[in-house]
Amino acid sequence: TSLSYNFFKPCGDDSNFGGFGISKDNASTHNFCNTQSQQIRLRCDAASDCTDLKVCYNDYERLIQNVSIAAQDCNTQNLTYFDTQYNAGANASVLAPIVDQCYLRHFNKLSACCQTAVQSSILSLSEYTCATIESFFNVTADSSQSDDVKSVCESKPRCAFDNSAFTCTQVATGSTFDDCAALIAEQCTPSSLSLTTVMLRRGAQSSFVNCINTSVATHDGSDACQSTFNTEVATYGACLYPVSSYWNFTTTAYDYAICSDAEIAAITSQPCGSTNSANDSQLTCLLTNVDGLPDGCCKRAVQQIASNTYAYSRECEADVDAYCAPSLSAFLIDPSAGSMLIAALTEFYFLNPFNTSQKIYPGTICMTQMLTALQLGTLSPKCTLAITHCEAIDVWPVTTGGSLASVACGQGNVGNQTRECWSNSSIAMWSPTIDVSQCVPLTCAAVTEYDQSWPETAVDTVRTIQGGLINNLTNNAHIATQISTALIAQFGANLTCDPLQSHNIYYARRQCTLNPYNTSQAIWSDPVLECRPLIYAWNNVQNETVCDFLTEEVTAGLAAQLDAALAFVNPALIGILQSTKKANLIDAIVWSIYDESFNDGVTTTPAQHIALSQSYCEQALTKCAAFSYDDTFGISYFFDYCPLLTQAEMSAGNLPEIENSVAAVSGVLTSLAQGIHPSLDGTIFYPWSFYDDPIYAALAPLVSNPKLSSFAARHTTYIAPLSMVEYVPTHCSIRSIQSVVASGDATQFIAPQHAWNADGIPHAQCFNNTLWLYFIDPAGGVLNRDKVIFTDESKVSDLLGFDGVQIKSSTNTIMVRGVNNDVVAVEFILDLRKRIDEQWAQQDELYVVPGGLIINLFSQYIGVSSYLITNLLLVSIAIVLCGLMFLLNPIAVLVCLVCNSAMIVEVYGFAHWIGLRLNGVLVLNIVIAVAFTMEFTAHVGRAFVLSDADKESTLDAGQQRMIRTLREMFTPVSLGAVTTFLGVVPIAFAQFPYFRQYYFSLYVIIVVFGWLNGVLFQTAILSFLQPKPLHPQTGEESTLVKVNSKSQLDSEKAQLAPTANVDADVEMEQQSAKFKSIGLKQNA
C-alpha cells in the first residue's frame, strides 16, 4: 500500500533529506521504516519560526485533504503558486492574497504556530481591515463559520465581533493619529510634509490636515479613520498629530504658544490674562484652571503638560531626540527613548561602519548624554522626574529612587508587601524582587458546627472529611476525623452511603473563601455532602445537575451592571453587590474542538466524551472532585469543589445571593430595574429565568433568547471516585470499623488520616495496604518489584489486591554520599551495624543483612589498625626471643628491634605517600616485611657480635668491628636484596593494578628500606653502642695476633727492600704460616 506522508523538519541538504537519501521537492518512492513501498512528498525549505507563512505548509496540506472544505478555499494550485512567489522573494502583500481565503475561513483549524504566522503576515497588513475580514465570511448562509470569523476578528488589533449581528467592526479610539495610523505612516508623515517639531508644537499642522483630508476617502487601511477625522478636525485641527513634549530646550521653559488669546481669556473663575504672555506664572494659572479652558488644542496641550506618567519611554522622548540624536545621527540611527533604554540595559552594540574594529553602544552613548544633561539640570522637568522615580506599575505607586514602596498584600492575605526602587548610576528602576515576608494568609478559624470539627483552614482551600459510620456506632466519638451524624442529618438526609453495598462513602467538603463584601475577612461556605464512590467506581451520577459555577458569573455580571448605573446616580453605593463564588471551575473541554485539533478530525461520541473525561479527571487533574457534562453541546466542565445546582432549583427558584443581598433589601436593585422599565422592581433579578444562557446563545445562535433556567437540564454531573492515594487509608479505616463492630472496642478504629504518620510510616494494620499502593505505582514500586519476593506474586499487579500484598524478603538500596576515604566509610559501616542491631532489629523488628560495594570493600578496614598493632607486637616479641637465642647479646637484639621498627614506620609512611590503603594486604605485607628485614639485620648483627677490635690500632674499636662486619657481610646481604628484587620484578608487568601497587611497589620499598636499615644503619648504630664481642682476644691468641701484625708489617717492608737476606725470608715465611694457622683458629 502506498501511503502519503508530509514531513516538516529541517533538511540536511538538497540531495539528502534528513539522511534518508531522498531529494527535496520530488515525489520519490523509497523503502522507509519497513518493507512497504511508501510515497513521501517532502517540503524541506519551510521557515522554522512562527512569523513566516511557510510554517503553515502542513496546515494547508491538511485542509486540502479535508473533504468538508471547499476546493475554492484551499487547493493545490494556490499552494504551488504560493511556493513560487515565496521562493522568488515576494513580500507579504503579494503572498497574503494567495492563501488568505484558506487560512482566514478555516482559522480555528490551524495550528497555534500557523495562527501566529497569519496574524503577523496577513492580518497585520493595512489592507486587511476589520470590514475586510468580515467580507471573507458569509455567516448568514453558513452559521458554522461564526467561530472562525470571531477568532479572526479578535486576532486583529482593535477589531470587535458582534455576536448577534455577526459583524467585525473596528473599535474607534477617537484619536485620528491612532485610527488613521496606516494612512499617516504611508502618506502623511511629518518628514514628508516638512513639518518640524516646533511647527507641530505650535499648531502649524494645516499641511498634515490637508493630507489626511485628501487621502482618507481612497485609503483602505482603516474603517474608523474617516469618521474619527471628521469628528476631531473641527476642534483639534491644529494638534491632530501628537507632540511628544511641549518643553522648549532652547528657552528651557514650556512652550504653550498653541494657546490663543481667546482661549486664555475664556477662563473666568480665576483669570489668567487676556493674552498669551508666555511666562511661568500664566502657565501655572492655566495648569490650575485647565478645566476652565474650552475644548481644543490649548486645553489638550495644558493637560499634557500637567500630566506625568513617570515613564521614561514616554516622558523622555523629546529629551532623547534633543540630546541623543546628534550623537547617533552619524550612524544613521533615529533614537527613541524606549529603544535606547533597552539598548543600554542589554548592552547592545554594532560595529562602527567606518572602523569595523570598534564597537558602538548606542544605548550607553545615549544614557551618558541623558545623565550628563540631568546633572546640568537641562532635562525637561517631566523627564527629570521619570529618571529619578520608578513609574507606577500594577499596585506599586510612583516611588522615588532609592526608597522602599509598601502596599497591602494581595487578596487572601493581611499585612504589607514591599519593593525597592533602585537608584543606581542610570535611571530609577523597580527591583524584580518583592518582599512578601510580612504577608500572612487569611484563614478561617477553627469551628465546631453541626457537631463537626472544622480545623483552621487557609483561604481558597477546601477542607474534606470522610466516613461517618463510626460515629453512628460510638455516638460521635470521632467528630474530628469523621463526619458527624448531625452533619449527615442536616445536609445528607436523602443520602444513603454504604462502602460495602453501594461502594461509596460519606464525603464532606467545605471551602474557606473570602467574604465578597469584606475581602480582608475569610468565611466558611456551607458544607457540601455527597456519597463519593470508592476507587474506580463512577457510580454517583447526578442527572440534570451542574456544579454551580453560574452563581459567580451571574452575580458578577449583575454587580458590574449595577455599579455602572450607580456611577451616575450614587457613586457611594458602588460595590453594594458583589459576586459570590460557589464551585471552583479548573478546566473545560469542548469536544468538537478536541476532535479537530487533537484527534485528526475524527468525531468522538458522547460515551467517549464521558470516558475521556473520567480518565482526565482521575489521572491528569489534581484534586478533581467532579465534572459536569453538557449533553447538548458536548462540553465537559471540571471542578475541584462542586456544590450542585439542580434543574428544579434553576427552573423555578431564585438566586439567594441576589434575593438576600443588601442591594435587594435596600431597594437599590429596584432602582436599577426601574431604569429598564418604570413598572419593574428588584425581584426581576432574582430568578434564573431572567438571565440569558451565553453558552447556548454562542453555540446555537439561531435559537432566540435562551435562558439559564434550563441550563442544568442538559447537564449530567459525575462525582469523582477516590484516588488510589485516598482509597488506601480509607480501605484500612473501613476494615478497622469491622474490628470495632466485632470487638466493641472503639479504640481499634483507625481514621484515614492516621493510616500513616507525617513521616510516611504506615500504621501496623495498614502496612499491607500501603505496600499495595507503593508497588502498584508505575513511578514507584513497579520499578523495584524485581528486588522483592512476595507471598503471592499475582496480588502485586491486581488493581483490587489491597490486602494481598505481603513481602517475604526484599532488597532495597540506600544512597550514600560523602564516602571519600576509609575513615568515613568505616564510621558509616559501624553506624549502620549499630542501627541494624540496636534499633531496627530490637525496636522495629526489621531484620536486615547489609551488602553492596561500600560494605564489601570497606569492611576490611574495620579494626585493621588494631590487627596491625597486635601482629607487630607479636612479631616484636618473636624478634626479641629469637635474637637472644642467636645473637646472644641484648644490645644487638635491641638494635635489631629498632631497625625493624624503623623499617615498619618507613614502609608505612611511603606506602601512604604512594597511595596505598591500610588494608589486609598491607598489614600482611608489613608483617612479611619484618621477616625480610630480619634477613638483612640478623646476619649483620651476628657478624658484628662475633668480631673484635685490635687494641693497638689507631681506629676506634667500633669502627674496626664495623669495617670487618661489612667486609664480611656486605656482599652476600646485598646480593640477597638484589635477588629478592629480581624475584618481584615480574609483578611490575601485571595487568591488574592492585598487584603492581600492593606487591611490586610495596616489596621494592621493603627491600630498599630493609637493606638500608640492616646493612648501613644497623652497623653504624652497633659501632656506637659496641656490644661485647662473643669471643674477645686474650693470652696467646692476643700475642700471636700482635706478632702476626708485626710480622706482616716486616714482611711488607722486606718486600719493598732492594736487598733481602734469603734466610731471613725463609724464616719470615715459616713464621707467617704459623701465624696464619693461629688466625684461622681464631676466626673459626
| Range with the largest mean pLDDT of 378-382, 1011-1015, 1039-1043 | 378-382
Q: What is the overall mean pLDDT for the chain?
A: 82
Q: Distance between CA atoms of 694 and 635, rounded to whole angstroms?
A: 14
Give the span between the Cα atoms of 445 and 427, in whole angstroms: 47
Count of H helices and E strands in the chain?
Answer: 43, 33
Asked if 706 and 700 touch (Cβ cutoff 8 Å), the reply is: yes
> What SS3 state is found at 725?
helix
Which amino acid is it at 512? C
Phi, psi of 404 (to 5 degrees): -115, 130
Tens of pLDDT along 956-1010?
A: 887 888 888 888 888 888 898 898 889 888 988 888 888 888 888 888 888 888 8
Q: How many CB atoms lie within 10 A of CB 1072?
A: 15
Backbone angles phi, psi at 821, to 5 degrees: -155, 170
The residue written with cell numbers 693461629 in the block is 1078
Q: Are 955 and 1037 in contact (CB under 8 A)?
A: no
- How far apart, in Å, are the Cα atoms of 277 and each of 247, 255, 268, 281? 16, 11, 17, 9
The rounded Cα 613 to chain-centroid distance in angstroms is 29
Q: Is 447:454 a contact under the CB 8 Å cutoff?
A: yes
Q: What is the pLDDT averaged over residues 17-46?
A: 43
More confident of the two residues 170 and 691: 691
Given this model, what pLDDT does residue 425 score? 65
Cα distance between residue 91 and residue 476, in whole Å: 78
313 contacts 245 by C-beta, under 8 angstroms:
no
Burial of 1052: CB neighbours in 10 Å, binned 0-12, 13-18, 19+: exposed
Which 8-state DSSP code applies to residue 276?
-
Q: What are phi and psi of 470, to 5 degrees?
A: -65, -30
If one counts every other C-beta atom within 10 angstroms of the C-beta of residue 882, the result is 14
Is it the case that residue 858 has pLDDT exceeding 60?
Answer: yes
Q: Which of 689-703, 729-743, 767-781 has the lowest mean pLDDT?
A: 767-781
pLDDT, tens digit, for every residue of 175-193?
988 888 888 888 899 989 9
- Separation of alpha carbons 1076 and 1071, rounded Å: 9
Highest mean pLDDT: which range of 343-352, 440-449, 776-785: 440-449
pLDDT of 799 reads 66
Residue type, 917: R
Assign 3-state DSSP to the chain and report helix, strand, coil percentages, each to 5: 50, 15, 35
Euclidean distance between CA atoms 809 and 897, whole angstroms: 55
Average of pLDDT values for 132-140? 77
Q: Are strands 447-449 and 788-790 parallel, antiparallel or unpaired?
A: unpaired
Supply the DSSP string of 1014-1072, one letter for each residue. Answer: IIIIHHHHHHHH-PPPSS---HHHHHHHHHHHHHHHHHHHHHH-SS--HHHHHHHHHHH
What pLDDT, on a 0 to 100 scale, did the predictor assign at position 332? 64
pLDDT-based confidence at 13, cuts 50/70/90? very low
Coil, strand or helix at 632: coil
**Angle (nearest 5°) at CA 628 between 627 and 632:** 145
- Phi/psi of residue 737, nearest 5 degrees: -65, -40
Q: What is the model's pLDDT at position 916?
A: 82
Give 255-292 pLDDT, tens digit per residue: 999 999 999 898 887 788 889 888 989 999 999 999 99
Residue-level pLDDT at 1031: 65
How far apart CA 1013 and CA 936 sit, in angstroms, is 8
Question: CA 1082: distance to chain centroid?
Answer: 94
Mean pLDDT throughout 502-512? 90
Cα separation, 766 vs 768, in Å, equals: 6
Q: What is the pLDDT of residue 1077?
A: 43
* Dist CA 796 CA 772 (whole Å): 7
